């Protein structure tokens, strides 16, 4: 049996006042196994510890129990003491009779009894304690510092200067943090730039520091001495190895966006460097993804890009960018159904950007000389010269294929020329786009009907691939009586004749049957030919598939529309005279989602008309194709949806022939896709379909945008539309530019590639992706800094509604020589020099009811500094500071405050209630509590001192690191007084304002403290761990692996050969989760085995 000694501490009166230590000692002396027991006033003191050492030696003790405070406070102390006495440190245990006994009881009898129970249970534990040896592990001698503000910089420099390799990770593109934003610093008024930039440069040039900016901690594992850290290197879309920071890209970029470094007081380009002295001095592109307009476009046309270029007046570049994705700029600028506009985010503010009309504008201004190219690659045949066929030819020709387009008609353009009337799409507009396509070496052979003039076989023999894009021309019939009568026309053939210039005479009254774009076109043509035209449509206006703006135009021109009417019979002898119709009502939605029309019985009626034009859809005419080409039941061609290849190898198809009648831009998209697939197949490479992330502003941010109405397209006067002159007249330059200004730059970078053009070192890399890098480090310093409390939550102070109410950080920028006003103090609203500035302290701080309870500590001093700097800039200025208390505890701080009041700052003791604008003045409602007066101050400008809060995302970051933060989100130190720079996780240290509000000198001191703690670990070869880890009794372990799942430290894994779990002792933290979870009792924690716990529980519960 072990010889056990028990040492009971009075802890002054902390324990002794509720525990009768003398009686307790006597009782414990009698307990089995105890050979020695004594008590002392302060057992942790030198004489107290010596009592333990002496007793171990004299009484030949095998184990020691110290009944005193919590083991977190003094376990280590007494284990050291036991070692001095010659015992193994792990047979010394603490019985906590202070926190768990004397501090929570008043009654001495109860306290004494409870203390006895506690001590006895620990005696039971110590009986089974084994002598253990600490686990020794090699240390990775490398540190990682998170956060590149002044705290992180200082810590990194200190560690690196001790000769230890250090990685500095910063999430923004440059180090410098908030300090580099400041103008001057209190109380010495050093210029922040002057004292900060040399340190930043030192970091960049230090051979022991690896600087990873624009990077974030992704994941962390391991423990002190051996952490594994995964770092996400966010893509700056610029190759920083090549970028030399010359800034040419900045000048070329057409997109301006919010400037965070200047606290929203200025703008910056989509490609930016946060400030000219940035370290590293590299450019970064803000890119949220692809804008909604571009994603909505079937052909992926970069609308945000060309709109940005229009704004910059770069029309040629805009046109080129448009044509990158779609050769039909001129056509689509006029007649595209523009799904881009439906998804335009500006539509959520008031109205979408007139994207199509802007496209038309660049096509209109841009008749540039075309350079004739001669491709030299493989031969490809395209059948059909509509938008699908020509697009395919265009994209292939750009890839150096020799493409021949075969067109059955005598004119190229397909439905563009045959189906769409000139007043919507003038022929020269089509020709411009076709000429452009031809300039890439595309050959168009008209009057060649494949299947008649030549066979498809012939084409296949002479070409590597064939693309069929013959459209949908066969008109659907009404299938009602009288459809063969004279006077019944069909829409496409009618339009074709008109478009070819053939003479057509219509009767006085014409009815058009259908509700699509072709029907509306036919009606407007018939109107121009002099007839009285009525459209008959079987559903309601809401269901009409035609573009609503075309329907409006038709009505404006005098076309009538009868809704919910369907023809049942055409009446006449030889020539039609009347049409019989039936009224319809709407039933349940059909497959297309539109409500199905149902005839109303007995509602038939007749309309006398001279002609009807049937415009109810078309289908492809593909009789000429062999049966090997599979067809759908709607008579369209079957293709592989991914590759557009038909059932016949090497023959592809797209556009209306596959989809049935659809839009131009869908045909362009099909042609483009076919070109990409054909190219990939010929080169034998896989076809890549890229998925793009949508980039757009948050709905919340849209609320701030001022409403500006969309530019209206000027149109030909309705009374002058008897001919086929174009109705839409196009934008003037000024209108186009103004309209382009409305664009919200949703994705920020628009990929207009202007930066690429001007970048000499070829550093721009729009496709660069994020990288994950892994680093082994021995210790970390966390210095993630602070943000200012969101001033918009201080609604009563007018921030966000009164322009000249700014935050303290904004005021720093307005004072800074490198700021948006170059150091001249001007207020944001009108650029006037403010004469009277009201400063409001504790904006959000010390307000537990509405905002934050704590004091932000630095605001008193920086506000004093602001007042002084204001006086220095504006000599007759009147700074007025509203405060609750002025707290100037710091070296030289009270002296500084005295200087500020001496130089003429009025301090008013009282918290401001409201700031508002009234008839041009800014009114501050405050109180002077010292005189007991309410005061109303007119100010030119108001500066708020918002509370300091932990940096955004801190809580998630803390979870990743498995360290702790308090309820406010500030990092928690291991001990508020004695271990202020250590986290509760060994090897992770804290520095700077991330741990709590503090000023620069304090931050620097703390950073150096954290660095020295890290150095202390990293200068050892090995690090020792507590051996009280959990093991595995292999005989009992069934390999069920429940413990593997519950282990929070990844210390356990299944040995698949032996089918038992094994433990990485260096990772085990001895939390005990595994032993609790283990169903067989195989997982046992050393010196805390089940047997011990059972005995302890029994002893604690024992009656006296």
Partner 1 sequence: MKFPYYPGCTLYTKAKPLNTSMQATFGALGVEIVELPHWYCCGTTFTLARDNRMSLIAPLRILAKAQKEDSRVLVPCSVCYNTLKRTNYILKQDPEVLQILNEHLEESYDGGEQVVHPLEFFRDNKERVKSKIVKDLKGMKLGCYYGCLLLRPEEEIQFDDPESPTIFEEFVSLIGAEPVEFPLKVECCGSYLVVNSPEAAVEATYRLLKNARGNGAEAIVTSCPLCHYNLDALQAKIKGVHSEFRDIPIFYFTQILAIALGLGADSAGLSQNKVSPISLLKEHNLT
Partner 2 sequence: MNKILKEKDFIKRIEEISNQKISDCYQCGRCTAGCPFAEFMDAPPNQVIRFIQLGLKDDVLQAHGPWFCAACLVCQTRCPRGVDIPRLMEAVRVLHLRAKEGLIDVDSIDKELLLDAPPLAFMSAFSKYTY
Q: Which of 51, 246, 833, 925 binds partner 2 (CB under 8 A)?
A: 925
> Residues 848, 875, 891, 977: which binds partner 2 (CB under 8 A)?
848
**Do the strands 379-383 and 284-285 form a parallel or antiparallel pair, or are they unpaired?**
unpaired
Location of structure tokens 């040039």: 205
Asked if 601 and 617 count as a contact pair (C-beta separation under 8 A), the reply is no
CB of 586 to partner 1, least distance (A): 20
Q: Could you say whether residue 844 binds partner 1 (CB under 8 A)?
A: no
How far apart CA 1080 and CA 1035 sit, in angstroms, is 10
Work out what residue 483 binds among partner 2, partner 1, none; the CB cut-off runs from 5 to 8 Å by kind: none
Contact call for residue 918 and partner 2 (CB under 8 A): no
Q: Would you say 506 and 529 are in contact if contact means Cβ atoms under 8 Å apart? A: yes
Q: Identify the helix (H) or strand (E) that includes residue 1055.
A: strand 1052-1055
Q: What number of other Cβ atoms are within 10 A of residue 138's Cβ?
A: 13
Residue 175: CB minimum distance to partner 1, A: 38
Q: Is 690 exposed, middle or buried (0-12, 13-18, 19+ CB in 10 A)?
A: exposed
927 binds partner 2 (CB under 8 A): yes
Separation CA 277–CA 200 (nearest Å): 9
**Span near partner 1 by CB under 8 A; candidates 173-181, 406-414, 493-501, 913-921:** 913-921
Residue 913 interacts, among partner 2, partner 1, none and using kind-specific CB cut-offs from 5 to 8 Å, with: partner 2
How many CA atoms within 13 Å lie on the side-chain side of 594?
A: 14
- Among left, alpha and beta (phi > 0; psi -120 to 50; other), residue 635 is left
Query: Which residues, 784 to 803, sit near partner 1 by CB under 8 A?
Result: 795-796, 798, 801
Q: Applying CB under 8 A, which of residues 934, 959, 975, 1022 lies at the interface with partner 2? A: 934
Which residue in 918, 956, 1021, 1057 binds partner 1 (CB under 8 A)?
918
Query: Which of 58, 914, 975, 1022 contacts partner 1 by CB under 8 A?
Result: 914
Q: Is 988 in the site for partner 2 (CB under 8 A)?
A: no
| 697 near partner 1, judged by CB under 8 A | no
The DSSP code sequence of 688-703 is ------B----HHHHT
> From the list partner 2, partner 1, none, which binds 934 (C-beta under 5 to 8 Å, kind-based)?
partner 2
**Of 539, 581, 540, 533, which is closest to residue 555 (Cα–Cα)?**
533
Largest CA distance in the chain: 134
- Contact mark string toward partner 2, 787..826, x via CB under 8 A: ---------x------------------------------
Dist CA 714 CA 1049 (whole Å): 69
929 binds partner 2 (CB under 8 A): yes
Q: Is there binding between residue 934 and partner 1 (CB under 8 A)?
A: no
Of the pair 472, 840, the CB lying nearest partner 1 is at 840
Minimum distance from CB of 910 to partner 2 (Å)? 4
DSSP 3-state helix, strand, coil percentages of the chain (rounded to 5)? 30, 25, 45
Shortest separation between residue 541's beta carbon and partner 1, angstroms: 18
- Per rule CB under 8 A, is residue 921 in the interface with partner 2? no
> 1048, 1044, 1046: which is closest to 1056 by C-alpha?
1044
Residues 6+ apart with CB under 8 A from 13: none
To the nearest whole angstrom, how small is the minimum distance from the Cβ of residue 826 to partner 1? 24
When CB distances are held under 5 to 8 angstroms depending on the partner's kind, the choice from partner 2, partner 1, none that residue 917 binds is partner 1
For 533, half-sphere exposure in the C-beta direction (CA atoms, 13 angstrom radius) is 27
Beta carbon nearer to partner 2, 776 or 853: 853
Binding test (CB under 8 A) with partner 2, winner from 410, 573, 691, 850: 850
> Least distance in Å: CB of 947 to partner 2?
12
Residue 143, number of CB atoms within 10 A of its CB: 31
1039: left (phi over 0), alpha (psi -120 to 50) or beta: left
Q: How far is the CB of 944 from partner 1 (least distance, A)?
A: 15
Q: Measured at the alpha carbon of residue 494, what is the angle toward residues 391 and 513, in degrees to the nearest 5? A: 100
CB of 916 to partner 1, least distance (A): 3
State in angstroms the smallest separation of the CB of 917 from partner 1. 6
CB 918 to partner 1: min, Å: 5
**Binding partner at 795 among partner 2, partner 1, none, C-beta below 5 to 8 Å by kind:** partner 1
Beta strands 226-233; 836-843: pairing state: unpaired
Q: Are 334 and 521 in contact, with CB atoms under 8 Å apart? A: no
Cβ atoms of 493 and 475 within 8 Å: the answer is yes
- Choose from partner 2, partner 1, none: what does 920 bind? Cβ within 5-8 Å by kind: partner 1
Of the pair 462, 931, the CB lying nearest partner 2 is at: 931
CB of 913 to partner 2, least distance (A): 3
| DSSP character at residue 48 | H
Distance separating the N- and C-terminal Cα atoms of the chain: 23
Q: Which is nearer to partner 2, 648 or 925 (CB)?
A: 925
699 scored as a contact of partner 1 (CB under 8 A): no
Is residue 706 a contact residue for partner 1 (CB under 8 A)? Answer: no
Return d(Cα 520, Cα 535) in angstroms, integer: 8
Count, residues near partner 1 per rule CB under 8 A: 10
User: Shortest gap between Cβ of 855 and partner 2 (angstroms)?
Assistant: 12
849 binds, among partner 2, partner 1, none (CB under 5 to 8 A by kind): partner 2
Residue 866 beta carbon to partner 1: minimum distance, rounded to whole angstroms: 25
What whole-number distance in Å separates Cα of residue 856 and Cα of residue 846?
Answer: 8
Identity of the residue, 833 or 935, whose beta carbon is nearer to partner 2 in the bound complex: 935
Tell me which stretch binds partner 2 (CB under 8 A): 544-552, 556-564, 920-928, 1006-1014: 920-928
Q: Judged by CB, which is closer to partner 1: 362, or 805?
A: 805
Per CB under 8 A, which region of 365-373, 675-683, 775-783, 918-926 contacts partner 1?
918-926
Sites for partner 2 among residues 884-903 (CB under 8 A): 884
414: left (phi over 0), alpha (psi -120 to 50) or beta: left
Pairing of strands 267-269, 271-272: unpaired
List phi, psi (to 5°) of 343. Answer: -95, 0
Positions in 480-539 near partner 1 (CB under 8 A): none
Distance of closest approach, residue 922 Cβ to partner 2, in angstroms:
15
Contacted entry of partner 1, partner 2, none for residue 734, CB cut-off 5 to 8 Å set by kind = none
Q: Is residue 916 part of the contact set for partner 1 (CB under 8 A)? A: yes
DSSP per position, 605-635: EEEE-SEEEE-S-EE---TTS-TTS-B-TTS
Helix (H, G, I), strand (E, B) or coil at 77: helix
Closest alpha carbon to 1101 in 68, 32, 124: 124
913 binds partner 2 (CB under 8 A): yes
Query: What span, in angstroms and rounded, lies between the C-alpha atoms of 549 and 341?
Result: 13
Binding-site size, partner 2 (CB under 8 A): 24
Among 373, 647, 873, 909, binds partner 2 (CB under 8 A): 909
Query: Do the bridges between strand 488-490 and strand 611-614 make them parallel or antiparallel, or are there none, so unpaired?
Result: parallel
In the complex with partner 2, the residue whose CB is nearer, 462 or 913, is 913
935 binds partner 2 (CB under 8 A): yes
Give 403 or 942: the residue with its C-beta nearer to partner 2: 942
Residues that bind partner 2 (CB under 8 A): 796, 842, 846-851, 884, 909-914, 925-929, 932-935
> Which residues of the shown chain bind partner 1 in the complex (CB under 8 A)?
795-796, 798, 801, 914, 916-920
């Amino acid at each position: 049996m072990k010889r056990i000694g028990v040492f009971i501490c009075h802890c002054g009166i902390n324990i002794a006042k509720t525990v009768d230590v003398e009686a307790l000692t006597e009782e414990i002396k009698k307990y089995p196994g105890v050979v020695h027991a004594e008590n002392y006033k302060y057992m942790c003191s030198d004489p107290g510890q010596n009592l333990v050492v002496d007793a171990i030696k004299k009484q030949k003790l095998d184990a020691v129990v110290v009944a005193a405070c919590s083991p977190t406070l003094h376990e280590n102390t007494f284990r050291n003491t036991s070692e001095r006495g010659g015992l193994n440190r792990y047979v010394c245990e603490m019985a906590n009779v202070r926190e768990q006994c004397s501090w929570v009881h008043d009654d001495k009898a109860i306290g004494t009894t409870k203390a006895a129970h506690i001590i006895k249970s620990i005696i039971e534990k110590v009986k089974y304690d084994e002598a253990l040896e600490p686990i020794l592990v090699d240390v990775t001698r490398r540190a990682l510092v998170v956060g590149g503000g002044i705290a992180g910089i200082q810590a990194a420099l200190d560690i690196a200067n001790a000769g230890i390799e250090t990685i500095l990770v910063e999430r923004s593109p440059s180090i410098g943090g908030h300090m580099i934003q400041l103008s001057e610093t209190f109380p010495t008024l050093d210029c922040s730039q002057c004292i900060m930039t040399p340190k930043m440069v030192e970091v960049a040039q230090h051979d022991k520091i690896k600087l990873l900016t624009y990077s974030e901690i992704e994941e962390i594992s391991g423990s002190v001495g051996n952490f594994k850290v995964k770092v996400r290197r966010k893509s700056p879309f610029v190759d920083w190895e090549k970028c030399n920071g010359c800034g040419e890209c900045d000048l070329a970029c057409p997109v301006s966006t919010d400037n965070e470094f200047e606290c929203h007081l200025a703008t910056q380009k989509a490609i930016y460097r946060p400030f000219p002295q940035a370290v590293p001095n590299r450019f970064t592109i803000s890119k949220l993804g692809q804008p909604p307009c571009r994603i909505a476009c079937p052909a992926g046309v970069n609308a945000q890009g060309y709109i940005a270029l229009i704004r910059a007046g770069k029309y040629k570049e805009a046109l080129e960018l448009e044509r990158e994705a779609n050769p039909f700029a001129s056509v689509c600028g006029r007649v595209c159904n523009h799904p881009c506009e439906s998804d335009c985010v500006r539509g959520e503010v008031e109205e979408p950007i007139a994207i199509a009309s802007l496209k038309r504008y660049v096509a209109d201004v841009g008749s540039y000389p075309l350079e004739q190219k001669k491709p030299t690659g493989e031969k490809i045949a395209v059948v059909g010269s509509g938008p699908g066929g020509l697009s395919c030819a265009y994209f292939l020709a750009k890839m150096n294929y020799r493409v021949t387009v075969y067109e059955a008609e005598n004119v190229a353009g397909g439905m563009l020329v045959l189906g769409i009337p000139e007043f919507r799409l003038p022929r020269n507009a089509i020709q411009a786009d076709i000429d452009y396509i031809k300039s890439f070496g595309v050959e168009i052979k008209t009057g060649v009907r494949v299947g008649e003039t030549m066979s498809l076989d012939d084409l296949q023999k002479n070409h590597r691939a064939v693309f069929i894009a013959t459209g949908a021309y066969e008109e659907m019939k009404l299938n009602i009586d009288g459809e063969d009568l004279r006077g019944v026309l069909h829409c496409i053939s009618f339009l074709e004749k008109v478009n070819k210039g053939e003479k057509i005479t219509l009767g006085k009254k014409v009815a058009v049957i259908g509700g699509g774009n072709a029907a509306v076109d036919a009606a407007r043509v018939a109107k121009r030919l002099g007839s009285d035209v009525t459209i008959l449509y079987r559903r309601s206006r809401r269901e009409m598939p035609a573009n609503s703006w075309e329907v409006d135009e038709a009505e404006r021109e005098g076309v009538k529309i009868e809704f919910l009417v369907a023809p049942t019979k055409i009446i006449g002898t030889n020539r039609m005279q009347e049409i019989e119709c039936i009224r319809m009502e709407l039933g349940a939605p059909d497959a297309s989602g539109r409500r199905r029309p149902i005839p109303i019985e007995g509602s038939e009626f007749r309309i006398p008309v001279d002609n009807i034009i049937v415009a109810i859809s078309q289908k492809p005419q593909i009789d000429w194709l062999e049966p090997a080409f599979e067809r759908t039941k709607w008579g369209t061609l079957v293709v592989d949806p991914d590759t557009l290849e038909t059932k016949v190898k090497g023959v592809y198809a797209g556009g209306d022939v596959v989809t049935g009648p659809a839009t131009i831009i869908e045909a362009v998209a099909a042609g483009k896709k076919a070109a990409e697939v054909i190219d990939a197949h010929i080169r034998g490479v896989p076809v890549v379909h890229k998925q793009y992330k949508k980039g757009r502003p948050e709905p919340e941010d849209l609320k701030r945008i001022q409403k500006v109405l969309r530019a209206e397209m000027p149109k030909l006067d309705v009374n002058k539309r008897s001919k086929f002159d174009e109705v839409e007249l196009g934008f003037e330059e000024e209108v186009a530019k103004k309209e382009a200004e409305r664009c919200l730059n949703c994705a920020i970078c628009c990929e207009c590639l202007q930066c690429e053009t001007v970048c000499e070192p070829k550093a721009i890399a729009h496709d660069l992706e994020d990288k994950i890098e892994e680093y082994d480090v021995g210790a970390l310093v966390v210095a993630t800094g602070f943000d200012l409390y969101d001033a918009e939550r201080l609604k009563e102070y007018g921030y966000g509604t009164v322009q000249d109410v700014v935050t303290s950080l904004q005021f720093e920028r307005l004072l800074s020589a490198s700021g948006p006003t170059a150091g001249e103090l001007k207020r944001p609203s009108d650029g006037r020099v403010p004469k009277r500035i009201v400063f409001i302290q504790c904006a959000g701080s010390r307000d537990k009811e509405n905002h934050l309870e704590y004091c932000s500590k630095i605001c008193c001093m920086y506000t004093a500094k602001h007042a002084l700097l204001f006086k220095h800039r504006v000599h007759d200025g009147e700074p007025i500071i509203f405060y609750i208390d002025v707290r100037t505890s710091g070296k030289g701080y009270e002296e500084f405050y005295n200087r500020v009041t001496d130089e003429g700052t009025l301090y008013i003791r009282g918290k401001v209630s409201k700031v508002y604008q009234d008839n041009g003045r800014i009114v501050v409602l405050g109180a002077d509590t010292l005189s007991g007066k309410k005061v109303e101050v007119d100010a030119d400008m108001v500066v708020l001192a918002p509370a300091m809060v932990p940096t955004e995302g801190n809580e998630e970051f803390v979870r990743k690191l498995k360290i702790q933060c308090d309820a406010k989100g500030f990092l928690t130190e291991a001990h508020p007084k004695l271990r202020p720079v250590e986290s509760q996780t060994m090897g992770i240290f804290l520095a700077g304002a991330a741990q709590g509000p503090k000023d620069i000198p304090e931050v620097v001191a703390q950073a150096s403290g954290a660095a020295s703690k890290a150095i202390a670990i990293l200068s050892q070869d090995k690090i020792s761990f507590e051996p009280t880890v959990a093991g595995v009794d292999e005989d009992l372990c069934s390999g069920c692996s429940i413990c593997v799942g519950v282990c929070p430290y990844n210390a356990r894994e299944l040995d698949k050969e032996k089918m038992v779990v094994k433990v990485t002792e260096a990772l085990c933290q001895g939390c005990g989760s595994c032993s609790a979870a283990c169903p067989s009792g195989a997982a046992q924690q050393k010196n805390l085995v089940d047997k011990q716990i059972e005995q302890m529980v029994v002893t604690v519960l024992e009656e006296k």
